[in-house]
């Protein structure tokens, strides 16, 4: 099993155990987490839930993309859709969970890792943490409720983070609302032992410290100036001819043009809606079509399978994507929108 789930002392502990795959979240792991959270909800022995991960490189660098590519490449699009439906329902369940939900997120925390770690009540980061939503680079969009987090970031940081896949440090993540506090990783063992013994999450704040400043705060003014513009074409046209502007432009153009245009729309829809369920529903509209109609299969081929880093997207540039194409990718699926259980 690639996940360990157990009750120990006063906590229910979930440990991701696929360090060789950067703890990529599989369908099996998603279903196991559903079962555990349901069992612990009304268990008086469990004062809080703790999710952590083995290895130093990653809490979780995303979902099980290889599985999705294998099935989608054979024309089986339903396998990925089933995974996403179950995963998104888990993300919603975590966000609404009635008990404290503590996540210790070291190293890479991206995609599916964001979904299982960063919707809970106590999101702890450390020196090695690097949080990102880089899905445009593989023909997807920020999902697992990521557009909800992006929409709630200050100003227009959400558009910037979602379109560029910028890797946030601990300080950046706290600024953007993806994390709550910084605890030096040398203290994490003591933190876990205290939670096991007491179940009292106030220990987290008592151990929290101020992280080293990250670069994101210094980018706020220029990010807000450019990423507030009405369309992606206008955003890229406005970027300055300096190091930041050209690096930002390169990052946007490296991703799938249809994914980038849909990401901008999804973040703004999520900001208007304000709920994680609404954001997940909109994200599923795209991801359910991403293999059959989008760039997902090609994006995974280029990044994960053949690793040539030379994806051949359907569109030559972000400017070529028509508004009608974005609306089509984000329309209600033929089988209907994903439905979430009441909290």
Mean pLDDT by 10 residues, the chain (343 residues): 94 97 96 98 98 97 86 90 96 98 98 97 98 97 98 98 98 98 98 98 98 96 98 98 98 98 98 97 98 95 92 98 98 94 69
pLDDT of amino acid 56: 95
- Domain layout of the chain by residue ranges: 1-335
pLDDT for the residue numbered 67: 85
The 10 Å Cβ neighbour count of residue 160 is 26
pLDDT on residue 5:
98
What angle (nearest 5°) sits at the alpha carbon of residue 185, between those of residues 181 and 186? Answer: 130
pTM: 0.97
Q: Which residues contact 277 (CB under 8 A, 6 or more apart)?
A: 92, 340
Looking up tokens 């155990």, which residue turns up? 17
Distance, in Å, from the CA atom of 29 to the CA atom of 86, rounded to the nearest integer, reads 10
Cβ pair 4, 17 in contact under 8 A: yes
pLDDT of residue 1: 67
Q: Are 124 and 174 in contact (CB under 8 A)?
A: no
Name the token pair of 194.
Answer: 């205290």
91 Cβ neighbours under 8 A, 6+ residues apart: 115, 116, 119, 144, 145, 276, 280
pLDDT at res. 343: 57
Structure token digits, residue 258 = 């249809």
Neighbouring CB atoms inside 10 A of 251's CB total 18
DSSP string for 290-341 = HTTTSSHHHHHIIIIIS--S----SSSSGGG--HHHHHHHTSPPTT------
Q: Which CATH architecture fits 1-335?
A: Alpha-Beta Complex (3.90)
**Token digits for 97?**
């969970």
**Residue 49: predicted pLDDT:** 98
The 3-state DSSP class for residue 125 equals: strand
């Amino acid at each position: 099993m690639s996940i360990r789930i157990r009750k120990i002392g006063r906590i229910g502990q979930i440990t991701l155990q696929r360090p060789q795959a950067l703890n990529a979240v599989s369908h099996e792991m998603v279903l196991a987490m559903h079962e555990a959270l349901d069992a612990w909800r009304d268990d008086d022995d469990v004062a809080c839930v703790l999710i952590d991960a083995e290895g130093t490189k990653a809490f979780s660098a995303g979902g099980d993309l290889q599985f999705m590519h294998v099935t989608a490449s054979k024309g089986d699009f339903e396998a990925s859709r089933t995974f996403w439906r179950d995963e998104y329902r888990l993300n919603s369940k975590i966000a609404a969970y009635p008990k404290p939900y503590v996540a210790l997120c070291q190293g890479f925390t991206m995609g599916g890792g964001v979904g299982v770690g960063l919707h809970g009540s106590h999101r702890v980061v450390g020196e090695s943490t690097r949080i990102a939503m880089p899905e445009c680079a593989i023909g997807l969009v920020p999902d697992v409720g990521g557009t909800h987090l992006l929409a709630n970031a200050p100003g227009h940081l959400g558009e910037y983070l979602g379109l560029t896949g910028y890797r946030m440090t601990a300080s950046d993540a706290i600024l953007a609302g993806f994390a709550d506090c910084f605890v030096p990783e040398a203290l994490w063992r003591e933190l876990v032992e205290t939670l096991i013994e007491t179940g009292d999450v106030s220990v987290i704040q008592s151990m929290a410290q101020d992280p080293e400043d990250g670069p994101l705060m210094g980018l706020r003014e220029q990010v807000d100036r450019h990423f507030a513009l009405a369309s992606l074409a206008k955003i890229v046209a406005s970027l300055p001819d300096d190091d930041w502007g050209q690096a930002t432009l390169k990052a946007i153009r490296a991703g799938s043009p249809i994914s980038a245009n849909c990401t901008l729309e999804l973040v703004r829809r999520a900001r208007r809606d304000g709920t994680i369920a609404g954001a997940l529903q909109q994200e599923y509209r795209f991801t359910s079509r991403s293999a059959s109609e989008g760039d997902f299969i090609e994006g995974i081929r280029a990044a994960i399978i053949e690793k040539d880093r030379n994806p051949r997207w359907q569109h030559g540039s972000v400017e070529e994507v028509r508004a009608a194409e974005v609306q089509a990718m984000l329309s209600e699926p033929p089988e209907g929108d994903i439905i979430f259980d009441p909290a």
